[in-house]
């Protein structure tokens, strides 16, 4: 599956992170608790969803600051926050390149 997601690994600190997760998702308290208990993604987005990845990064940083153990997944494999930051940078570079191409094409007409 082509996705990016986070899972909460600290089952003893569920209450600490529920309010943080709710800021970034539409999940209910019960749904978040169930996902944590069942080791499911509490947040997930498509691999090419730049805004979704940015939300995951924000949520990850906020939850980590609470002392909660969180794992990030890319294509169902554990990855790092640095990977996501590089992915966001790459999407920004692509957007700038596309804008430059558009500007050049527009200027030629």
Arithmetic mean of pLDDT over the chain: 89
Domain count, the chain: 1
Question: The pTM is what?
Answer: 0.81
Q: Which long-range contacts (CB under 8 A, 24 or more apart) does 36-43 make?
A: 36/7, 36/8, 36/11, 37/11, 39/7, 40/7, 41/3, 41/5, 41/6, 41/7, 41/73, 42/5, 42/6, 42/7, 42/8, 43/5, 43/6
Query: Model confidence at 93, in pLDDT bands (50, 70, 90)?
Result: confident
- Residue range of the domain that includes 64: 3-108
Please tell me the predicted confidence (pLDDT) of residue 106.
80
Q: Is the pLDDT reported for residue 41 higher than 90?
A: yes
């Amino acid at each position: 599956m082509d996705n990016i997601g986070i899972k909460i690994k600290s089952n003893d600190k569920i209450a600490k992170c529920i309010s943080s997760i709710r800021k970034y998702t539409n999940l209910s308290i019960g749904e978040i608790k169930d996902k944590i208990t069942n080791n499911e993604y509490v947040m997930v987005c498509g691999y090419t969803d730049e805004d979704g990845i940015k939300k995951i990064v924000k949520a990850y940083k906020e939850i980590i600051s609470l002392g909660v153990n969180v794992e990030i997944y890319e294509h169902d494999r554990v990855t790092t926050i640095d990977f996501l930051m590089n992915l966001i940078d790459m999407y920004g570079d692509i957007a700038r390149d596309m804008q430059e191409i558009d500007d050049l094409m527009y200027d030629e007409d």
